[in-house]
C-alpha cells in the first residue's frame, strides 16, 4: 500500500469535502480526485489530438485567414437576425 502525505492545504480540502457528507473518508476523496485527474488528462489528450488534426488539415487543404472567418460569422449572424426580425414583424 502506498502512503500519501498531504500538505496542510490538501488536508483541509479533504476534510472540507468529507464534512459535506458526500465522502466517507480520505480514500473516497482521493478516488474522486483521481477520477477527475483522469478525465482532465483524457480531455487534454483529445484537445491535443484535435490540434494535430487541425494542423494536418490546414497543411493539406490550406489555412483560412481570420478576416474570412469573421466575415462568414458576420454573415451568419446577420442572416439569423433578419430571420428573427421577419418572424416578429419588425
Burial-class residue 29 by CB neighbours within 10 Å (0-12, 13-18, 19+). Answer: buried
Q: The domain containing residue 50 runs over which residues?
A: 8-63
For the stretch 37-60, pLDDT in tens is 999 999 999 999 999 999 999 899
- The count of C-alpha atoms lying within 13 angstroms of the C-alpha of 63, restricted to the half-sphere facing its C-beta, is 6
Torsion over CA: 33, 35, 40, 45 (sign): positive
Confidence (pTM): 0.60
Is residue 3 in a domain?
no
Predicted local distance difference test score (pLDDT) of residue 70: 96
Is residue 74 in a domain?
no
Is residue 47 in a domain?
yes
Is residue 76 in a domain?
no
Number of domains composing the chain? 1
In contact, 50 and 44? CB cutoff 8 Å: no
State the DSSP H helix or E strand holding residue 66, giving kind and residue range, or none if neither: helix 66-88
Q: Which residue in this structure is represented by grid cell 491535443?
A: 48
Residue 90 scores a pLDDT above 80: no
Predicted local distance difference test score (pLDDT) of residue 19: 97
Amino acid at each position: 500500500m502506498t502512503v500519501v502525505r498531504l500538505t496542510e492545504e490538501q488536508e483541509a480540502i479533504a476534510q472540507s469535502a468529507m464534512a459535506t457528507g458526500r465522502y466517507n473518508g480520505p480514500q473516497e476523496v482521493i478516488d474522486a480526485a483521481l477520477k477527475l485527474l483522469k478525465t482532465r488528462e483524457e480531455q487534454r489528450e483529445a484537445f491535443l489530438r484535435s490540434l494535430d488534426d487541425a494542423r494536418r488539415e490546414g497543411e493539406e487543404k490550406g489555412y483560412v485567414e481570420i478576416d474570412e472567418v469573421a466575415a462568414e460569422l458576420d454573415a451568419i449572424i446577420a442572416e439569423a437576425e433578419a430571420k428573427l426580425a421577419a418572424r416578429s414583424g419588425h
